[in-house]
Amino acid sequence: MAPLSGKSALVTGASRGIGAAIAKRLAKDGANVALTYSSSPERARQVAEEIAKEGGRALAIQADAADQAAVRAAVQQTAKEFGSIDILVNNAGVLALGPIADFPADEFERALAVNVRSVFTAIQETLRHMPDGGRIITIGSVNSERMPFPGGAVYALTKGAVASFTKGLARDLGERKITVNNIQPGPVDTEANPASGAFAETMLGLMALKRYGHADEIAAMAAYLAGPEAGYITGASLLIDGGFAA
């Protein structure tokens, strides 16, 4: 039997990149999967269709992570469709870079809304539909621990907040046997940060393994944390960064 057979999952921001890889991997491991998207309906439907072709059950839901009402509605729709939510993966995020002296206030507010507030909102609403023993996973960043170049202060702030939030939540939810963990990727080859991009040479110079990660590698860690063998891991921020923070 697949390790996640009979489970239901919600993955935010999963129309492409790491989120799409996680949604497909959880489905491969037997879970029903709902995935949210902000502005890429065709891509989200494609992910859902790929899951369905492999015999899985998937649901694509439009929800801007910056919109609290939309996030809550997506959680409620997932619970209504699947009956409950056993696994929540907070993947939606935005990259916020720029010198702090003139960092735009509206970009700062959006970074907080997407990278921090949406995590709080999704978790709070999901807990109303999550049975004891559930799994909460957030995709953070190695930049919560190391920011080796200027311009990343706001992004590091948001990812540091998620790391701290994870520890507090683990205490809050331990009695319900709900685990809460934070995956902290280093550079991963996606459209937003391609391994062949202009910034790639600089990033590779900061890593012990001179290559970018693959979305499937992040998905594999998420699947492990969502599965039965990871029941004793909670409150952890786990690096998967090619030695970026070493």
Q: Known catalytic residue: 155?
A: yes
Which among 155, 212, 224, 232 is annotated as catalytic?
Answer: 155
Residue 116 CA to residue 95 CA, distance in Å, equals: 12
3-state DSSP of the chain: CCCCCCCEEEECCCCCHHHHHHHHHHHHCCCEEEEEECCCHHHHHHHHHHHHHCCCCEEEEECCCCCHHHHHHHHHHHHHHHCCCCEEEECCCCCCCCCHHHCCHHHHHHHHHHHHHHHHHHHHHHCCCCCCCCEEEEECCHHHCCCCCCCCHHHHHHHHHHHHHHHHHHHHHHHHCCEEEEEEECCECCCCCCCCCCCHHHHHCCCCCCCCECHHHHHHHHHHHHCHHHCCCCCEEEEECCCCCC
Question: Which are the catalytic amino acids?
Answer: 155
